[in-house]
Amino acid sequence: MTGWSCLVTGAGGFLGQRIINLLVEEKELQEIRALDKVIRPELQEEFAKLNHKVKLTVLKGDILDEQCLKRACQGISVVIHTACVIDVTGAAQRETIMNVNLKGTQLLLETCVQANVPIFIYTSTIEVAGPNSYHEIIQNAHEDENHESKWFAPYPYSKKLAEKDVLAADGWTLKNGGTLYTCALRPMYIYGEGNPFICKQINKALQNNGILEDFARYSVVNPVYVGNVAWAHILALKALRDPTKAPSVRGQFYYISDDTPHGSYSNLNYILGKEWGLQIDSRMVLPVFLQYWIAFLLETVSFLLSPIYKYQPPFTRHLVTLSNSVFTFSYKKAQKDLGYEPLFSWEESKQKTTQWIGSLVKQHKEALKTKTH
């Protein structure tokens, strides 16, 4: 098993780049291929710096382009598939989300068979498990409990179907007679430096006198630091490459969390931003059942208008449920099968993310100065 190579899809994304940063430290790794539709110039420079450790090839291309996938998978030993469209607000077209998240995954699996890629690791999401109702309390849940999302919202639905396809593909025969090994990781809500959602929330707060929106007051979740999710991917590929560990990991999915304290999404933003004077909005919020029924009315209006006008509701029932549920999961199975332990403690994760938020605050202040001069 000497000398191996790895393709990371979605390599320019928030998680993809972290996986690459950890991959370069792996022994006997000969090449990393970083595939994404867009790789920002500054990230291209970051990747170039890693080139002295291992050959790092940046590929610009679309997950729906079969020729591009063929070239990307040629001679590869492991595929880590993180590329997807994440959308919980309904901003992206349903068709786009289903195409990228589901069809893109199916094309990649088929390409792996043709190109004799033996290992496929899929980045799934906690959203394939739910939450289905804000009334339901799910705490410290695990893989054997069969939690499954019942939403038809395109993001959880596409990810659920894609994950099923990936796990069903375990055991497929490769073109050369070999066998495809697959597994899926379901991270909790991922935070850390560069998180686009946190960035949006912080910038919104900075334009509102440092007041953070309290959009998820009633949720209890266990967010996970991006570095720990990346680390779980490295451990999954090591397990699938290890003949003694692979049998118990093949065709399995794993919840990935860490030691970040349980609490609401809003409270996480507050903990990470309070050092910079950010405060949480203390005004009254509507009871959840009211938010839910307003969302239902707005979705009905959107549906009725759809033949003549595209109206995007400011929030949906899915978003209300997601933001107000008690929904936490244990990483014990990943610990047992993959040897997963968080690489970064809560203190380190908090410090790194807080520092990054500080840089956003600084940028905002500098932008204001420029405006006033």
Say whether 155 is catalytic.
Answer: yes
Q: Are 120 and 181 in contact (CB under 8 A)?
A: yes
Which residue among the candidates 134, 155, 157, 181 is catalytic per the annotation? 155
The answer to whether the CB of 83 falls within 8 A of the CB of 120 is no
| 222 and 260 Cβ atoms separated by less than 8 Å | yes
Contact (Cβ atoms closer than 8 angstroms) between residue 15 and residue 256: no
User: What's the longest Cα–Cα distance across the chain?
Assistant: 69
Angle between helices 226-241 and 16-23 (to 10 degrees): 50
Tell which residue, 69, 87, 86, has the closest CA to residue 33. Answer: 69
What gap in Å lies between CA 205 and CA 294, rounded to an integer? 25
How many residues are given for the chain?
A: 373
Which among 96, 121, 138, 140 is positioned nearest to 186, based on CA atoms?
121
Catalytic residues: 155
